[in-house]
Amino acid sequence: MNAYLVMFLASLLAASPFPTVSEGVLGGLVATGEHDIMLLWTVATIGNTLGSVVNWGLGRWCLHWKDRPWFPLKPAQLEKAHERFQSWGSWSLLLSWVPFIGDPLTLAAGFLRVSFPLFVSLVALGKGARYAVVASGVNAFL
């Protein structure tokens, strides 16, 4: 399978409930020295950002059922998430790459109807910076 497709799929899945270690894939591909680092970085950033876009969309879409008894979040939990997100603001989306908090942040952004252009800009910036650190760090050791 094409290395860039593997990078894309790993980074896309890393932003989903299916855990993958896209940083490891990126580091491994950079370490081979056989691939264009900028293209790997671009593909990883796009894939991971698209995965977060799915989370944002699910957040917006799932609210249609917020009044149903089976909905996993109660109104008080939604309000608490709203307050936490508002206290940190949309800038918290720069941390969407952080394990365990990134996916809930992107889902909450959808719940709270953060504007799509702002969402994509902040998420892509944060994720791109993380992948840049990984790629350049591995490349520096070669």
Q: What angle do CA 104, 89, 48 make, to 5 degrees?
A: 40
Mean pLDDT, the chain, whole residue set = 91
- pLDDT tens-place string over residues 40-68: 999 999 999 999 999 999 999 988 788 88
> What average pLDDT values come out for the chain (142 residues) when binned by 10 residues?
94 86 95 96 98 93 83 80 81 91 88 94 97 94 82
